[in-house]
Every structure is written in C-alpha cells, then in structure tokens.
Amino acid sequence: KKTKPVSSIAAKRRALIMSAALKEFAENGYKGASVQKIADVANLSKSNVLYYFTSKKRLYSEIMQSILSMWNSSFDNVTSSDCPAHALANYIAEKMEISRTNPYSSKVFAIEIINGSPNLDPTFKREHKLWVQDRITVIEGWIAAKKIDNINPEFLLYQIWSSTQYYADFSSQIENLHGTELSKQAYAQATDTVVKLILKGC
C-alpha cells in the first residue's frame, strides 16, 4: 500500500485545522476560542495543531488572511470604464453567495470588528484599507462620467457589505423569522432584491 506524500498529509491536516478553527472562532471569538477545542473538533492533538500553527494568534492571523482572500472577487479588477450596474450586481451576488456558503467566515470577521479589531494585524488592516481606497477611486470615476448618481462611494461600499453579510452574521434571526434555513432559491430571491434596491439607489 502506497503512503501519501508528507506534503499532501500536511496540506490535508492544515485544511482540517483551519476549518475547525473557523468554526471555533465564529462561535466563541478569539478570546473564547482555545487551541484545545480546535484540536478536538479537528480530531487531532493540541501539539499537532501547534506543529502546523505555532500559536492561537498565528492560526487566527491565517484565518483572517484566508477571509480576505476569499472576499477577492471580480470587483477587484473592475475599472471606471466598466458598466457600474453590471459590476455592482456581480459584486453583490458574489457577496451573497459567500454568505450562503461560508457564513462562519463572515461571522469571525464581524465578531472581530464588533470587539474593536484588537487582533487584526497591521498587514490585514493596510491591505483592506488600500483595497477600499482603490475601489472608491473607481466609483468616483463612474460619478465623474455620470454613469451613476453623485453618492458617497465609501458609504455605498458599507451599504453593500451590511446588506449582504447580514445574511451570514444574523442567519439565526433569519431562520427564526423565515421559519427555516434559507434555501438556495430563497437566497437567489434575496440577492435579486438586494441588487435591485442598491442599483435603484445609484
């Protein structure tokens, strides 16, 4: 029987640990999470977790970077020459799909921000701010070309985030009010609603 290459085993274990950590951080925040709990969920020893991630802080940092990477979308490459309606609709749809398929990621980020961002490393903050500034420039280009109304680009981004990430961050409230977890079809209807509301506002 052939054994898997060490690199393949390591990659699988890292992914397992990251998945367990994402759930733990989403449910308990950075302060309430523990390496032992993460190890238990991953069905590994604590020492095994620390072999791949030297500390809880290091693991958390990688989780946050993975969230930032996951949020990369077609909107990252949009320019002022692109159609704003098409670009914004695609961005909203992508954000809604992430809320549907990766709710823990949004919840981890939300808990961190609500607590004042005490555990966000400078690199994350810098990259996120640069991205926002770059996207604001694009939206300002649309405004200058009279492709959209003269609205505040920064607040437009906040509106998109709040409208889409709500479906992940407050999923328990939605489930309670809706009567059940939103189906894929219901998410599609919600996405269409959010797109129409935001585009009409532009």
Asked if 36 and 56 count as a contact pair (C-beta separation under 8 A), the reply is no
Spatial CB neighbours of 190, under 8 Å, sequence gap ≥ 6:
96, 167, 182
pLDDT over 50 at 1, yes or no: no
pLDDT over 60 at 84, yes or no: yes
Sign (positive or negative) of CA dihedral 156, 157, 161, 162:
negative
Asked if 198 and 163 count as a contact pair (C-beta separation under 8 A), the reply is yes
Spatial CB neighbours of 103, under 8 Å, sequence gap ≥ 6:
26, 167, 168, 169, 171
Q: Which of 133, 113, 116 is nearest to 67 (CA)?
A: 113
Spatial CB neighbours of 93, under 8 Å, sequence gap ≥ 6:
191, 195
Entry pTM:
0.86
The helices-and-strands tally (H runs, E runs) of the chain is: 10, 0
For tokens 């961190």, the residue is 112
pLDDT of residue 5: 53
Residue 97 to residue 44: CA distance in whole angstroms: 31
pLDDT digits (tens, 9 = 90+) for 11-57: 899 999 999 999 999 999 999 999 999 999 999 999 999 999 999 99
pLDDT of residue 127: 85
pLDDT digits (tens, 9 = 90+) for 25-34: 999 999 999 9
pLDDT digits (tens, 9 = 90+) for 108-167: 999 999 999 888 888 878 888 999 999 999 999 999 999 999 999 999 999 999 999 999
DSSP 116-180: TSTT--HHHHHHHHHHHHHHHHHHHHHHHTTSS-S--HHHHHHHHHHHHHHHHHTHHHHHHHHSS
Phi/psi zone of residue 29: left (φ > 0), alpha (ψ -120 to 50 degrees), beta? left
For tokens 């002022």, the residue is 80
